[in-house]
Amino acid sequence: MSNHLYDRLFKTHECQATPFLHLADGKVITHDAFLKQAAQIAHVLTDAGLVPGDRLAVQIEKSPEALALYAACVQAGIVFLPLNTGYTADELRYFVDDSGAGMFICDPHREAALRPVITALNVSLETLGGDGTGSLMARCASMDTRFAIVHRSSDDLAALLYTSGTTGRSKGAMLTQANLVSNAETLAEYWRFTPSDVLLHALPIFHTHGLFVATNVILASGGSMIFLPKFDLDAMLDGLPRATVMMGVPTFYTRLLGDARLTRDLTRHMRLFISGSAPLLTETHVQFEGRTGHRILERYGMTETNMNSSNPYDGDRRAGTVGFPLPGVEIKITDPDTAVTLGPEQIGQIEVRGPNVFKGYWQMPEKTAAELREDGFFITGDLGKIDANGYVHIVGREKDLIISGGYNIYPKEIEGVLDDQPGVIESAVIGVPHPDFGETVLGVIVADPAAPPDLEAIGHAVGDTLARFKHPRRLIVVDSLPRNTMGKVQKNILRDMYRATFTSG
């Protein structure tokens, strides 16, 4: 009997009274206590009828219990499906339905609003609050703290993570046990993690970055985490002198730089700062080094592939690049039309192959076939080049995507909602530079001259349908959208026109 993921990331910590999570209130949760709680949760899940391979969908605040839920799923062979806490009931309905989840867990505060939606899908509902309250932990109290770990093969699914699509519906990326283990081990080694490391963890745990990169690397190496519920500037500055590593999206770095308390002295105990999920501006890289003496290490990944490339631990961490392919990962640049591999310095689509690459999209064989080649290369949708020294550069995106504060937003989804509003003939949603979020959402609307739209009503309609982070920060009404000779909206022209909406440059 084996369970690859459990064996590699959790088993070594059984019965160890070593620190795993340092909480904001000073409390420390040991590996042993964490795994015992996970075992209790695994009993609750299996007693409720979940069996290996079933999906557990969760929309819960970050907490030690929420993380233990992930560990419980690994123990019981249940496929973990974490969802952004910002998603509306409309968005959740789709994810729970599409995944065929056997159970849904939400915050007690949302129970009243979500229960009708979830029960209509014939799915059971439990609650878990950020403070550990709710029905799940109440049920745990009487459970055994030992659980017989369920056998899983390396190719079995460990997680299902939804990524929005450029066209149409969100896709569930199927991540196997082997995907997660290989990436955790590779990164722990590449970034030189040891049991003495203390990771400052302020990322959400419903995405690859906070869950698999940060948490799995710490589990693989035996280190511990200062586990913050979310990014809070004071808490970050308070944690830095006790941490050795921080992982963050670029917004973390620009926010830290905006505070005079960030100094060389404050970060003296740190050995590594890692950035990813969105492009880090060279300016941020340079300023951060000037202020702290640390060169940020930038890496590149995706939900479908975990991490693909990283700047070196030793050696030159080059601003504006995402470094070298990780050990065991192949990256090539191809011509989008012919799929022919391009040479150094030539720009094309980035393709990735390796043990990190997902198994495909949940119940979407056509979409899987369109993006995952038979030879194992995944077409990322990012545009880039590999320079003469082997560094990978991301120069743009083939996919129509906005990355705001590390969250991916697909314009198509927002355009769909805007186009449905009275008085809107058509719309184009674009990303424009934003000082805090890197990029933010701008909606350009063509109004019906006979019945102009009510922008406030549009704001409400968007609010009811889409998560807050997807909302256009501004709506601009125009007479028509620029189009090329083929009739396609020229978003590049719109991006140029509105580039300075939120910045001075």
Nearest approach in angstroms of CB 237 to ligand AMP is 24
Are the C-beta atoms of 153 and 6 separated by less than 8 Å? no
Using the minimum distance from each CB to ligand AMP, give the nearer residue, 196 or 492.
492
Nearest approach in angstroms of CB 105 to ligand MLC is 20
Contacts with 504 (C-beta within 8 Å, 6 or more apart), sequence order: none
Contact flag: residue 277 with ligand MLC (CB under 6 A): yes
Using the minimum distance from each CB to ligand AMP, give the nearer residue, 110 or 332.
332
Q: Which of 129, 222, 223, 276 binds ligand MLC (CB under 6 A)?
A: 276
Strand partners, 173: 161, 361
> Which of ligand AMP, ligand MLC, none interacts with 230 (beta carbon under 5 to 8 A by kind)?
ligand MLC
> Which of ligand AMP, ligand MLC, none interacts with 298 (beta carbon under 5 to 8 A by kind)?
ligand AMP
Using the minimum distance from each CB to ligand AMP, give the nearer residue, 45 or 249.
249
> Which of ligand AMP, ligand MLC, none interacts with 323 (beta carbon under 5 to 8 A by kind)?
none
The interface mask with ligand MLC, positions 386-425, x = CB under 6 A, is ------------------xxxx------------------
> Which of ligand MLC, ligand AMP, none interacts with 397 (beta carbon under 5 to 8 A by kind)?
ligand AMP
The whole-angstrom distance between residue 487's C-alpha and the CA centroid of its chain comes to 34
> Which of ligand MLC, ligand AMP, none interacts with 405 (beta carbon under 5 to 8 A by kind)?
ligand MLC
Q: Please tell me what DSSP assigns to residue 341.
A: B
As to burial, measured by CB atoms within 10 angstroms (0-12 exposed, 13-18 middle, 19+ buried), residue 366 is: exposed
Nearest approach in angstroms of CB 261 to ligand MLC is 17
Contact flag: residue 280 with ligand MLC (CB under 6 A): no
Angle among Cα 255, 432, 173 to the nearest 5 degrees reads 80
Q: CA distances (Å), 430 to each of 250, 379, 414, 425, 448, in order?
A: 20, 23, 10, 17, 21
Using the minimum distance from each CB to ligand AMP, give the nearer residue, 92 or 379.
379
Using the minimum distance from each CB to ligand AMP, give the nearer residue, 35 or 392.
392
Using the minimum distance from each CB to ligand AMP, give the nearer residue, 408 or 427.
408
Which residue is at the shortest CB distance from ligand MLC?
Answer: 405
Q: Residue 409 is encoded by which pair of tokens?
A: 């937003």
- φ/ψ of residue 412, rounded to 5: -55, -40
Contact flag: residue 68 with ligand MLC (CB under 6 A): no
Of residues 315-354, those binding ligand MLC (CB under 6 A): none
> Which of ligand MLC, ligand AMP, none interacts with 172 (beta carbon under 5 to 8 A by kind)?
none
Q: Which of 261, 268, 269, 468 binds ligand MLC (CB under 6 A)?
A: 468
> Which of ligand MLC, ligand AMP, none interacts with 437 (beta carbon under 5 to 8 A by kind)?
ligand MLC
Contacts with 93 (C-beta within 8 Å, 6 or more apart), sequence order: 117, 121
Nearest approach in angstroms of CB 227 to ligand MLC is 14
Q: Which of 5, 249, 379, 442 binds ligand MLC (CB under 6 A)?
A: 249
Angle among Cα 469, 168, 425 to the nearest 5 degrees reads 80
Are the C-beta atoms of 65 and 144 separated by less than 8 Å? no
Q: CA distances (Å), 460 to each of 192, 327, 447, 478, in order?
A: 48, 48, 17, 21
As to burial, measured by CB atoms within 10 angstroms (0-12 exposed, 13-18 middle, 19+ buried), residue 32 is: middle
> Which of ligand AMP, ligand MLC, none interacts with 410 (beta carbon under 5 to 8 A by kind)?
none
Contacts with 33 (C-beta within 8 Å, 6 or more apart), sequence order: none
**Of residues 240, 178, 239, 191, the one with CA closest to residue 218:** 191
Q: Which residues bind ligand AMP (CB under 6 A)?
A: 163, 208, 276-279, 298, 300-303, 322, 380, 382, 394, 397, 403, 408
DSSP-H helix ranges across 77-134 = 89-99, 111-120
Q: Residue 434 is encoded by which pair of tokens?
A: 């934003």
Using the minimum distance from each CB to ligand AMP, give the nearer residue, 46 or 408.
408
Using the minimum distance from each CB to ligand MLC, give the nearer residue, 210 or 323.
210
Contact flag: residue 438 with ligand MLC (CB under 6 A): no
Q: In which element (H, E) is residue 380 found?
A: strand 378-386
Contact flag: residue 130 with ligand MLC (CB under 6 A): no
Nearest approach in angstroms of CB 47 to ligand AMP is 34
Nearest approach in angstroms of CB 234 to ligand MLC is 12
Nearest approach in angstroms of CB 310 to ligand AMP is 9
> Which of ligand MLC, ligand AMP, none interacts with 251 (beta carbon under 5 to 8 A by kind)?
ligand MLC
- φ/ψ of residue 484, rounded to 5: -85, 180
- φ/ψ of residue 127, rounded to 5: -125, 150
> Which of ligand MLC, ligand AMP, none interacts with 279 (beta carbon under 5 to 8 A by kind)?
ligand AMP
Distance linking the first and last C-alpha atoms of the chain: 60
Give the type of residue at 233.
L
Give the torsion through C-alpha atoms of 353, 359, 364, 366, to 10 deg. Answer: 40
Using CB under 6 A as the criterion, which residues of the chain lie in contact with ligand MLC when the complex forms?
Answer: 203-204, 207-210, 230-231, 249, 251, 276-277, 301-303, 404-407, 437, 468-469
